[in-house]
Structure 1
Amino acid sequence: MKTSLDHLPAGKRKELDLVVEVLRQGFADALSRRTMPRYRDGKLLKIILFGSYARGDWVEDPKGRYFSDYDLLLVVNHEDLTDLQEFWGKSDEVLLRELASGERLRTQPSFIVHSLDDVNEQLRLGRYFFTDILKDGIELFCEDEFSFNLPGSLSAQDAYAETKGYFDEWFESADQFLETGRDHIAKGPRWSKKAAFELHQAAERFYHGLVLVLTLYSAKTHRLNLLRDRAEAMDTRLVGIWPGSNKFERQGFDLIRRAYVEARYSKSYEISTDHLDWLVGRVEALKQIVEMIAQERIMELKRLAA
């Protein structure tokens, strides 16, 4: 695996140094408060940069308001340590504060956490997402000499079957949430918060389904902005679904982003009919583009499997 960041500007390398420091310190602090035996030997084994900043094709487009993230894979030695809230929540908070201040960090870090056994199993099965990380990723931190398995090969027939299965499952589920959201909007303002949650679920599932179709892997998250960014990095036809050229549009995405938690649990969450109607249009646009991209991939795999 590569270790050099020479293709990145000095400022980017400095930012990544900060991100690695925050992640390592946050994990060490989380472990220090644990007394259960299974946590005593907990280790962060690797931090790997993957995606556009590893490949060298990152995007910074202020005019179009599109910026690539730092995509990071964190590998730990025990599955329990992958719990994002328990072991990585504080690090995430620190990074978000650093990003908000803009003094030492100006690029959004997005990280996923997996155990070494899980990564090796995914590599054995030939999962594209992980084999691509092994091929293109850059190791930013390594504890001892823990190594990955050599990647296996996924047959075209198996790839087609898995991909089509993911599409059928996730697209149908997303479409059902979209339909239910429309129904609850039609019932009137008393149902607005429920409709907002359902539209969030529709968008989330369209994104998850597409990422699964393209890579056979999607990280466990309900953060719509993170899912949007990952999907857009895979296919630029998704860029622009959520325009932010004015306050109304920016508020609209913020409302659906927050709906997963706040539309269900917060008394202060409010959303207008105008915003709900706008969100329906945006989720319908997302549905159309997701279906087009997914069907292209499925047909490609079908030809290879024939």
Structure 2
Amino acid sequence: MVLFGSHAREDWVTDEYEEKGVVFSYESDYDFLVIIKKDGRKENEVSHQIESYFYDIKGDVSSLVHDIEYVNVGLSQGQYFFTEIINEGILLYDTNKFAFDKIKQHRLFNLLKLGYLNSRYQSDYSVNKQDVKALIGKVKQLEEVVIKLCLEKISSLG
């Protein structure tokens, strides 16, 4: 079970305002991805059980239930939705029976590329700490490769 979305990113919204004497309120929902094996249980039955379990919690609960094969196909194809859940979600419960397929590395490159533009033109642009750490690691690897190649080239020139 993975918590994802605004509560996992710690940027959920709780808002209340009054307009023409009527009070309106909004609170971000809790989003869960539940991975199951194909055992004949219907995904909507599992989703209903989860939402019923969390009935007393303040705020809405939304659960997505998929079998591991479905999620892994999405990950192997680089689907943004599942990739973001796996990268930014918080693992709440793990049976250690499933393994996620390797996620395509294009996401970090796209984040770096978009960050160049978005950070210049969007005053509220931000990148989470986990992505910054991953990007720093990749940049350090790149630096090591460049230094090695440059030194090899210089030494070959004699």
Query: Do both proteins adopt the same fold according to a TM-score greater than 0.5, normalized to the shorter chain?
Result: yes
Which residue of structure 2 aligns with residue 89 of structure 1? 48
Among 125, 143, 165, the residue aligned to 2:77: 125
Which 10-residue stretch deviates more, 55-64 or 113-122?
Answer: 55-64
For 1:95-114, what aligned pairs fall within 5 Å after superposition? 95-96=54-55, 98=56, 105-114=57-66
Which residue of structure 2 aligns with residue 116 of structure 1? 68
Runs (4 or more) in structure 1 with deviation over 4 Å come to none
Q: Give me the whole-angstrom Cα distance separating, in 1, the residues matched to 2:72 and 2:81.
A: 12
For 1:283-298, what aligned pairs fall within 5 Å after superposition? none
Which residue of structure 1 aligns with residue 36 of structure 2? 76
Amino acid at match of 1:68: S
Question: How much has 1:150 moved relative to structure 2?
Answer: 1.0
Amino acid at match of 2:40: D
Q: Give me the whole-angstrom Cα distance separating, in 1, the residues matched to 2:5 and 2:39.
A: 24
Between structures 1 and 2, the one with greater strand share: 2
Task: Indicate yes or no: 2:110 matched with 1:150.
Answer: no
Question: How much has 1:153 moved relative to structure 2?
Answer: 6.2
Which residue of structure 1 aligns with residue 111 of structure 2? none
For 1:207-286, what aligned pairs fall within 5 Å after superposition? none
Question: How much has 1:81 moved relative to structure 2?
Answer: 3.0
Question: How much has 1:83 moved relative to structure 2?
Answer: 2.6
Among 56, 65, 68, the residue aligned to 2:25: 65
- 8 Å CA contact retained: 1:82, 1:113: no
Q: How many residues align?
A: 100
- 8 Å CA contact retained: 1:79, 1:115: no
Task: Indicate yes or no: 2:91 matched with 1:139.
Answer: yes
Q: Give me the whole-angstrom Cα distance separating, in 2, the residues matched to 1:93 and 1:77.
A: 21
Q: TM-score, normalised by structure 2?
A: 0.56
Amino acid at match of 1:128: Y
Between structures 1 and 2, the one with greater helix share: 1
- Secondary structure in structure 2 of the residue aligned to 1:78: coil
- 8 Å CA contact retained: 2:50, 2:63: no
- 8 Å CA contact retained: 1:82, 1:115: no
Which residue of structure 2 aligns with residue 189 of structure 1? none
Which residue of structure 1 aligns with residue 6 of structure 2? 52
Unaligned runs of 5+ in 2: 18-23, 107-158
Amino acid at match of 2:31: D
Question: How much has 1:145 moved relative to structure 2?
Answer: 4.8
Q: Are residues 151 and 109 of structure 1, via their aligned partners in 2, closer, same or farther at CA, if it must alter by over 3 Å?
A: same
Q: TM-score, normalised by structure 1?
A: 0.30
Q: CA offsets, 1:58-116, max 9 Å, x none?
A: 0011225121011100000116334313x4434433433x2xxxxxx212111000001
Unaligned runs of 5+ in 1: 1-46, 99-104, 155-306
Q: Give me the whole-angstrom Cα distance separating, in 1, the residues matched to 2:64 and 2:39.
A: 13
- Secondary structure in structure 2 of the residue aligned to 1:120: helix
